C-alpha cells in the first residue's frame, strides 16, 4: 500500500461497522470545540469578503461529524457578520479526504437544508489541494495525527529503527520513536506550508489534534496504549498461526501523537503562521461515554479496518477485533479525560505574507 499516493480511509458506507455509525468519540471532540470555534471566529475573522466565503474541512471522512464541524464554523461566521452588516456572503464548503475515502456516502448524507455550496476535494492534505489564496477558514479534526507514510527506517530489517514484533512505538527503542517524530515534523511542516499558500490574507487555520501531554511518556499516552493493545492482538494471532508473524513485523501504524511543545517548535521553525490559541479541548473526553468495550472496539475498527484489512486481509478483522474487545475488558483502563485533544488556532504570519 503506497500511503503517499492513496492513503487510506475510514470504513465507508453506513452499516453497523461503518465510521458513520462508529465515530461518537470524534463527535465528542467536535462538540467540545464548539465554543472555542465561536470565540476564535469572533476574535479573528475579518470583514466579509466581497463574493464567496470558502471553508475547507481536511480529513472529513464520510460524515456526519464533518457536517457538524462545518455548521459550527458557518454559524459562528454568520453570527459575527450579522452584528456588522446585512450583507452575508455566499458560502462554499470543500470536504477533503484521501482519494480512497467513500465520497459517495458523504454526498448521500449531505444535510438537505444546508445553506452552502458543497464540493469534495480528493487527495492528501500533505500536498497542495486548493488554488492560492482561495480559502477563509481551513479546519481539520482528529486527522493530523495520521502521518503521510510509515517512516521508512522502521520497516527496514537492516536499520537500527526496525520495529520488530510491534505495530507502533509503545515500548520501542528511541530510534523507532525518533523516526516517527521526524516523520511527523516533516509532515506537519509540509501541511503548514501548503495551507499558508491556500489561505487568503487574514485566513484562519483551526485544528483539533489528538496529542500527548508534555512530559507524559509515550507508553502512558492512552492513544498509544490502544495501538499497542491492537499490536498484541495481531501478535497473538500470529502465534496461533492465523496470520504470518513476518506480516506483523512489516505492519506499522502511520500515526504519531506529538506534544504541545513539539507542535510549537514545528510551527515556529516553519514560520508561516503565528499561534493564536493552543489549549486542551476541555470536555471532549468527559462527554464521550461508550456504553461498553464493544463500542470502543467498534470505534477502533471503523478507523483501522482499512489499514489492518488492507495488510492482513479483511477476513481476519472479526478475529482481531473480538480479541481486542476481550483485552479491552480485561485491561479496564479507560479513564475518561486522560487523552489530550489539542485545539490549535493559527493565523498567517503577516510579516511573511507581506514579504511574499
Task: By CB under 8 A, name the binding residues for its own copies.
Answer: 51-52, 90-92, 94, 99-100, 102-104, 107-108, 110, 117-122, 128-134
The nearest distance, CB 51 to its own copies, in angstroms, is: 6
User: Cβ closer to its own copies: 62 or 267?
Assistant: 62
DSSP codes, 5-34? TT------SSSTTSTTTS-HHHHHHHHHHH
The nearest distance, CB 105 to its own copies, in angstroms, is: 9
DSSP codes, 157-208? TTSTT--TT-SSSTT--HHHHHHHHHHHHHHHHHHHHHHHHHEEEEEEEEEE
In whole angstroms, give the CA distance from residue 189 to residue 193: 6
User: Cβ closer to its own copies: 36 or 199?
Assistant: 199
User: Cβ closer to its own copies: 52 or 219?
Assistant: 52
DSSP codes, 199-217? EEEEEEEEEEEEE--TT--
Count of CB atoms within 10 A of residue 262's CB? 18
User: Cβ closer to its own copies: 98 or 347?
Assistant: 98
Give the containing element (helix H, strand E) for 312.
Answer: helix 293-312
In whole angstroms, give the CA distance from residue 13 to residue 61: 11
User: Cβ closer to its own copies: 54 or 272?
Assistant: 54
Phi-psi region of 172 (alpha: psi -120 to 50; beta: other; left: phi over 0): beta
The nearest distance, CB 233 to its own copies, in angstroms, is: 30
| Torsion of the alpha carbons at 122, 35, 43 and 270, rounded to the nearest 10 | -50
Half-sphere exposure of 180 (CA within 13 A, CB side): 23
The nearest distance, CB 136 to its own copies, in angstroms, is: 12
The nearest distance, CB 117 to its own copies, in angstroms, is: 6
User: Cβ closer to its own copies: 87 or 335?
Assistant: 87
User: Cβ closer to its own copies: 8 or 321?
Assistant: 8
The nearest distance, CB 79 to its own copies, in angstroms, is: 20
Give the containing element (helix H, strand E) for 140.
Answer: strand 135-141
The nearest distance, CB 195 to its own copies, in angstroms, is: 14
Query: Which three cell numbers mark 284?
Result: 471532549
User: Cβ closer to its own copies: 121 or 317?
Assistant: 121
Query: Which three cell numbers mark 194?
Result: 501548503
In whole angstroms, give the CA distance from residue 230 to residue 236: 10
Query: Which three cell numbers mark 135?
Result: 480559502
The nearest distance, CB 122 to its own copies, in angstroms, is: 4
Q: Which of these, 346, 305, 34, lies nearest to 188 by C-alpha position?
A: 346
The nearest distance, CB 52 to its own copies, in angstroms, is: 4
User: Cβ closer to its own copies: 42 or 99?
Assistant: 99
Question: What SS3 class is residue 256?
Answer: coil
Residues in the chain: 356
Amino acid at each position: 500500500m503506497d500511503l503517499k499516493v492513496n492513503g487510506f480511509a475510514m470504513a465507508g458506507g453506513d452499516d453497523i461497522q461503518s465510521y458513520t455509525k462508529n465515530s461518537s468519540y470524534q463527535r465528542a471532540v467536535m462538540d467540545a470545540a464548539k465554543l472555542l470555534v465561536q470565540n476564535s471566529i469572533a476574535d479573528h475573522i475579518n470583514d466579509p469578503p466581497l463574493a464567496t466565503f470558502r471553508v475547507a474541512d481536511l480529513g472529513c471522512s464520510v460524515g456526519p461529524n464533518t457536517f457538524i464541524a462545518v455548521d459550527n464554523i458557518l454559524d459562528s461566521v454568520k453570527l459575527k457578520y450579522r452584528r456588522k452588516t446585512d450583507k452575508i456572503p455566499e458560502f462554499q464548503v470543500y470536504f477533503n479526504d484521501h482519494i480512497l475515502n467513500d465520497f459517495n456516502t458523504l454526498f448521500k448524507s449531505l444535510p438537505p437544508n444546508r445553506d452552502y455550496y458543497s464540493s469534495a476535494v480528493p487527495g492528501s492534505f500533505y500536498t497542495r489541494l486548493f488554488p492560492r489564496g482561495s480559502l477563509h477558514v481551513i479546519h481539520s479534526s482528529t486527522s493530523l495525527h495520521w502521518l503521510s507514510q510509515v517512516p521508512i527506517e522502521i520497516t527496514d530489517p537492516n536499520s537500527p529503527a526496525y520495529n520488530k514484533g510491534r505495530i507502533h512505538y509503545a515500548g520501542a527503542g528511541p530510534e523507532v520513536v525518533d523516526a516517527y517524530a521526524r516523520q511527523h515534523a516533516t509532515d506537519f511542516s509540509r501541511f503548514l506550508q501548503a495551507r499558508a499558500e491556500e489561505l487568503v490574507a487574514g485566513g484562519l487555520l483551526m485544528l483539533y489534534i489528538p496529542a500527548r501531554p508534555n512530559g507524559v511518556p509515550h507508553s502512558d499516552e492512552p492513544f498509544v496504549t490502544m495501538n499497542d493493545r491492537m499490536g498484541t492482538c495481531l501478535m497473538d494471532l500470529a502465534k496461533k498461526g492465523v496470520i504470518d508473524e513476518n506480516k506483523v513485523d512489516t505492519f506499522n501504524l502511520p500515526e504519531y501523537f506529538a506534544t504541545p511543545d513539539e507542535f510549537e517548535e514545528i510551527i515556529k521553525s516553519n514560520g508561516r503562521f503565528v499561534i493564536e490559541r493552543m489549549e486542551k479541548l476541555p470536555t471532549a473526553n468527559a462527554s464521550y461515554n461508550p456504553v461498553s468495550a464493544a463500542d470502543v472496539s467498534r470505534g477502533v475498527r471503523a478507523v483501522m479496518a482499512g489499514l489492518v484489512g488492507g495488510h492482513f486481509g479483511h477476513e481476519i478483522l472479526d478475529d482481531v477485533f473480538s480479541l481486542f474487545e476481550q483485552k479491552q475488558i480485561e485491561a479496564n483502563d479507560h479513564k475518561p479525560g486522560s487523552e489530550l485533544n489539542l485545539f490549535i488556532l493559527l493565523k498567517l504570519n503577516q510579516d511573511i505574507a507581506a514579504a511574499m
